[in-house]
């Protein structure tokens, strides 16, 4: 059974950036205002994420790494949260099967912090009392230490580091009231650094550069018929990049929609030279029951109800914004 769990875990967590995405979402679920990430070897040797959120209660530390149990934990009274982020209860369990996982955490009600380590979904001994501020530190060491084939597949830690930078950057743009920091372990210089009283635009400028942010256009759409809303920022036609930057959140979850992405690109193709791309950041909200959340954690492709109409109406909103700004 341990081996089967390990294989399943290796499919859920395929590389450090998948783990970071899951852990970031947990920290955001815990209503933190700051998240600091430290990586050694692109997260393969060490991946640490510290937040100042609610923390995990001592009595819950025994079960947080059991599969499918955790979404029922007491702190999720908000159904909206369950349906967007923490619905699977598999991230910590998976990580514990393929890495050395340690959790240090303190809630507001507890006198001290507790530190617990896990192997294959189970606590190693009892949580130990220790000193720490409120919040949670998750430490993942030697990712894939027991999955030699996967471990061997990582030739370039710098590429894994860059993927983590990419994921964290997207979350930072979407969450301007959370301060993000991402560093290589032991280095002073951050690869991502935002403050917790920022704005979407300021974070876009900070992360993707001034020349994008100078002429960003704001998108706002409330569609009463198909019951969804869109907000976000898109680059004007005087900006383009070689590599497409398409940041899409649906109900605060980082996803991808190839159909939406392609549809929006066609609007720009009227303006931009061949081979150059826009910057697009969109946040969609819709009834969680209409989003197909039953996706694999590594496949971010998402589908939702009335997909064609939602895409077409979003495309039109974007087109009229661009037309309005350029006539």
In the bound complex, what is the minimum distance in angstroms from residue 176's beta carbon to Mg ion? Answer: 22
Pair 153, 228: CB distance under 8 Å: no
Question: 257 touches which of Mg ion, ligand ADP, none (CB within 5 to 8 A by kind)?
Answer: none
In the bound complex, what is the minimum distance in angstroms from residue 244's beta carbon to Mg ion? Answer: 28
In the bound complex, what is the minimum distance in angstroms from residue 28's beta carbon to ligand ADP? Answer: 9
User: Per rule CB under 5 A, is residue 65 in the interface with Mg ion?
Assistant: no
In the bound complex, what is the minimum distance in angstroms from residue 86's beta carbon to Mg ion? Answer: 5
Question: 92 touches which of ligand ADP, Mg ion, none (CB within 5 to 8 A by kind)?
Answer: ligand ADP
In the bound complex, what is the minimum distance in angstroms from residue 203's beta carbon to ligand ADP? Answer: 21
User: Which residues neighbour 231 within 8 Å (Cβ) at sequence distance 6 or greater?
Assistant: 218, 219, 220, 221, 282, 283
Mapped onto helix, strand or coil, the DSSP state of residue 37 is: strand
CA angle 219, 306, 256 (to 5 degrees): 60
Closer residue to ligand ADP in complex, CB, 14/71: 71
CA dihedral angle for residue 76, residue 78, residue 82, residue 83, rounded to 10 degrees: 180
**Mode of pairing for the β-strands spanning 46-51 and 34-40:** antiparallel
In the bound complex, what is the minimum distance in angstroms from residue 118's beta carbon to ligand ADP? Answer: 11
Closer residue to ligand ADP in complex, CB, 68/187: 68
CA-to-CA distance for 114 and 107, rounded, in angstroms? Answer: 10
Interface residue list for ligand ADP (CB under 6 A): 22, 26-27, 30, 51, 53-56, 64, 70-71, 73, 75, 86-93, 136
CA-to-CA distance for 31 and 37, rounded, in angstroms? Answer: 17
Closer residue to ligand ADP in complex, CB, 26/236: 26
Q: How far is CA 41 from CA 21, 156, 186, 307, in A?
A: 17, 9, 12, 40
Closer residue to Mg ion in complex, CB, 43/86: 86
Closer residue to ligand ADP in complex, CB, 121/278: 121
- The first and second tokens of residue 22, run together, are 């899951």
User: Per rule CB under 5 A, is residue 86 in the interface with Mg ion?
Assistant: yes
User: Of 246, 245, 249, 228, nearest to 174 (Cα)?
Assistant: 249
Q: How far is CA 297 from CA 21, 37, 87, 179, 243, in A?
A: 9, 20, 11, 24, 24
Q: Which of 13, 32, 49, 91 binds Mg ion (CB under 5 A)?
A: 91
Question: 137 touches which of Mg ion, ligand ADP, none (CB within 5 to 8 A by kind)?
Answer: none
Other CB atoms within a 10 A radius of the CB of residue 231 amount to: 16
Closer residue to ligand ADP in complex, CB, 240/251: 251
In the bound complex, what is the minimum distance in angstroms from residue 38's beta carbon to ligand ADP? Answer: 15
Closer residue to ligand ADP in complex, CB, 91/310: 91
Q: Which of 26, 41, 54, 169 binds Mg ion (CB under 5 A)?
A: 26
Q: Which residues bind Mg ion (CB under 5 A)?
A: 26, 86, 91
């Amino acid at each position: 059974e341990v081996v089967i769990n390990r294989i399943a875990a290796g499919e859920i967590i395929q590389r450090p950036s998948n783990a970071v995405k899951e852990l970031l979402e947990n920290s955001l679920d815990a209503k933190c205002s700051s998240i600091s990430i430290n990586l050694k070897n692109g997260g393969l040797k060490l991946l640490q994420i510290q937040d100042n959120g609610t923390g995990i209660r001592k009595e819950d530390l025994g079960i947080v790494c059991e599969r499918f149990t955790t979404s029922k934990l007491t702190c999720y009274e908000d159904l909206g949260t369950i349906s967007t982020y923490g619905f699977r209860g598999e991230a910590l369990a998976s990580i514990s099967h393929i890495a050395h996982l340690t959790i240090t955490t303190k809630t507001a009600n507890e006198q001290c912090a507790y530190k617990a380590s896990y192997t294959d979904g189970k606590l190693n001994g009892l949580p130990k009392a220790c000193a720490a501020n409120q919040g949670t530190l998750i430490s993942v060491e030697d990712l894939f230490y027991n999955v030699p084939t996967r471990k061997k597949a990582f030739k370039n830690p710098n590429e894994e580091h860059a993927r983590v930078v990419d994921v964290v950057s997207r979350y930072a743009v979407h969450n301007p009231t959370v301060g993000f920091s991402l560093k290589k372990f032991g280095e002073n210089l951050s690869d991502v650094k935002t403050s917790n009283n920022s704005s979407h635009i300021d974070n876009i400028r900070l992360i993707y550069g001034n020349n994008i942010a100078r002429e960003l256009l704001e998108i706002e759409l409330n569609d009463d018929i198909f019951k969804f809303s869109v907000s976000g920022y898109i680059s004007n036609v005087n900006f383009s990049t070689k590599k497409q930057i398409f940041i899409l959140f649906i109900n605060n979850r980082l996803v991808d929609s190839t159909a939406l992405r392609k549809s929006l690109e066609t609007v720009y193709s009227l303006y931009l030279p061949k081979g150059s791309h826009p910057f697009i950041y969109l946040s969609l909200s819709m009834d969680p029951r209409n989003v197909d959340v039953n996706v694999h954690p590594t496949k971010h492709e998402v589908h939702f109800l009335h997909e064609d109409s939602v895409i077409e109406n979003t495309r039109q909103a974007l087109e009229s914004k661009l037309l309005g700004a350029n006539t």
